[in-house]
Structure 1
Amino acid sequence: MTIINWINSVFMATVFMLSASQCWSQATGTEQTTLTAAGSGVNLGITRLLATAFTKVHPELTIDVPGSIGTRGAIQAVVDNAIHLGLISRPLKAEEEARGIVALPYARVAIVIGVNPMVKEQAISSSELIEIFKGNKTRWKDGNEIIVQAREKSDSGFLVLEKNIPGFREVYEDSHKNNRWTLFYTDQDANHALSATPYSIGVSDQGMISTEHLKIKALRLDGVEPGPETLLSGKYPLSRQLSFIYHKGNLTDAARKFVNFVFSIEGHKILESNGYLPLN
């Protein structure tokens, strides 16, 4: 199955679930309202935590956060009015904004060079990372083979590495051209493989490690510890922005209530306790 077919299949499943929830409400005559928020796998864990806290104070609302349909899937679903809120992990492109999509950035999170806990190293340099993805550095200091976990070219985490680590873009493009590494097409699959594969290395973020209880160790990069403090100070260079998206003029009352909760003091506390830097 190609990545496009996969996105389409998950997208259609999400549309079906949304339609089913609407029909259920109509059939039972209840006042329960279901809000569907779907998109990038990066956003799922924290969105579910926020949704759980939100529905405790708004029991009349239910928030459905299905499996990943990706940022591209979220954008298409919003355009088609198939979901109430989209979840994206990169800024919108100009042509996407031109389709009437509005983005509400709510947090930044440190992207990390993550390794399986069996790796003894605690830090890595940019030059070492490049040599690993080139295929030149193949073993950890204890002699065990380095198992590289990679993503598709459009992955938001690797795009940040390409932008902020000099020389990484060329190396990563070459690795794709030569089919050098195993590719994963969802954040959850990539994180699971990194957690389960001894001596592996890949890319994750602090928020997913916390909210999904992942067995992934974040390495210091060029001597800097990843985290909200080093992001805020500018010392740590790798981060991504999480946003809600909706179609202009089509933000429902339920969606607005949830967004307001995320930007509230309580919402910010949940973000901060899971390694995110809240945005105002």
Structure 2
Amino acid sequence: MFFQTNPVYLRAAFLALFLATSLGVSPSQAEIKIGGTGGDLGTWKKIAQAYKATHPETDITVLNSLGSGGGIKALAAGAIDLAISSRPLKAEEAAAGFKANAYGVTALALSSANDVYLEKLTIADVVEIYQRGTRRWPNGNPILVVMRPLHDTDITLVVEAFPEMGPAFDAAVSRGARIGASDQDAADALEETPTAVGFLSLSLILAEDRNINTFALNGVAPTTENLANGSYPISKRYYLVTPKVVPDETTALVDFLYSAQGQEILRDNGHLPIGRE
């Protein structure tokens, strides 16, 4: 046969085999890239790990935080295959053919790495912490503030639940609150500053095994049980954003998310799962 005796074809074949084996990717191996809001990347890493246990032919990469908008832009550019968003699609995003399906709700909780639990914390207390900066820990240290930028979804959700927090957030920024550019930055800042408090997603705290505690507000703890019964007021919804055309290997991962095992992973990591639409 010509292929067997032609050295050019032989070299090309050996080169292709070398590249495939040296990169650790077989010619038939699928690759899925996921990116978006930092609040749920830890959960998606666990979903990816569980999926790969039974689908070793699929390579899944969960990128560092891109933000909701950044994830959708990366999806539009073809740089990722699935985007994770903490907000619904904007009109122009929906017009571009993207689809967003809510898959889980988590609590947005006032949090701290401090070992001291603040008892009987009311929203009026939280307003005072952010707006005036006069509240102190039991040992006398001032309570500092870590927060996301004012335009971030987390800030919007807190203000929707408690409008009085709007001016309090503004005041905290004016007083020099530490701003986390991403969810992970805010969580890192809280762990590094035990005298600080800030709002974080319960999903992030649990999925990333953060050394961070959460506080009850108005006597209600930020748990999935209290989200389910409607008693905890600040919730954050996560959306899975897909392009117009979804490859079979990506569809299989989405199917896994909605399987019994996928739903259990969500519950174990601070989500109230939302069934498939």
TM beyond 0.5: yes
What residue is the counterpart of 1:103 in the other structure?
A: 100
Is 1:67 the equivalent of 2:79? no
Distance 1:173 1:99 in 2: 35
Residue 109 of structure 1 aligns to which amino acid in structure 2?
Answer: T
Is 1:265 the equivalent of 2:260? yes
- Compute the displacement of 1:29 (Å): 5.2
Distance 1:29 1:151 in 2: 42
- Compute the displacement of 1:92 (Å): 2.0
- Compute the displacement of 1:50 (Å): 0.4
Distance 1:128 1:94 in 2: 38
Cα pair distance change 1:253/1:119, threshold 3 Å: same
Distance 1:25 1:86 in 2: 29
Distance 1:153 1:269 in 2: 33
Higher Cα Rg, which structure: 2
What residue is the counterpart of 1:227 in the other structure?
A: 223
Residue 219 of structure 2 aligns to which amino acid in structure 1?
Answer: G
Is 1:54 the equivalent of 2:62? no
Of 179, 183, 190, the match for 1:183: 179
- Unaligned regions of 5+ residues in structure 1, if any? 1-22
- Compute the displacement of 1:198 (Å): 1.9
Distance 1:269 1:237 in 2: 23
Of 77, 102, 109, the match for 2:74: 77
What residue is the counterpart of 1:237 in the other structure?
A: 233
What residue is the counterpart of 1:256 in the other structure?
A: 251
Conservation of the 8 A alpha-carbon contact between 1:194 and 1:202 = yes
- Give CA-to-partner distance per residue, 1:14-54, whole Å, 9 cap, x none: xxxxxxxxx96998652111100111111210000001001
What secondary structure does 1:157 align onto? helix
Conservation of the 8 A alpha-carbon contact between 1:116 and 1:198 = yes
What secondary structure does 1:221 align onto? coil
**Which sits farther off after the overlay, 217-226 or 161-170?**
161-170
Alignment: residue pair count: 256
Distance 1:53 1:29 in 2: 21
- Compute the displacement of 1:138 (Å): 3.4
Residue 151 of structure 2 aligns to which amino acid in structure 1?
Answer: S
Residue 220 of structure 1 aligns to which amino acid in structure 2?
Answer: A
Distance 1:109 1:100 in 2: 27
CA-based RMSD of the aligned residues comes to 1.9
What secondary structure does 1:237 align onto? coil
- Compute the displacement of 1:174 (Å): 4.0
Distance 1:123 1:217 in 2: 15
TM-score by length of 2: 0.87
Distance 2:121 2:90 in 1: 32
Distance 2:243 2:22 in 1: 24
Identical amino acids, percent of aligned pairs: 31
- Give CA-to-partner distance per residue, 1:180-219, whole Å, 9 cap, x none: 3111101111101111212210011211111111111100
- Give CA-to-partner distance per residue, 1:139-176, whole Å, 9 cap, x none: 12332111111111232222110110131112223443
What secondary structure does 1:234 align onto? coil
What residue is the counterpart of 2:3 in the other structure?
A: none
Distance 1:169 1:73 in 2: 25
- Compute the displacement of 1:135 (Å): 2.1
What secondary structure does 2:118 align onto? coil
What residue is the counterpart of 2:36 in the other structure?
A: 39
Cα pair distance change 1:24/1:159, threshold 3 Å: farther
What secondary structure does 1:112 align onto? strand
Residue 136 of structure 2 aligns to which amino acid in structure 1?
Answer: R
What residue is the counterpart of 2:13 in the other structure?
A: none
What secondary structure does 1:220 align onto? coil
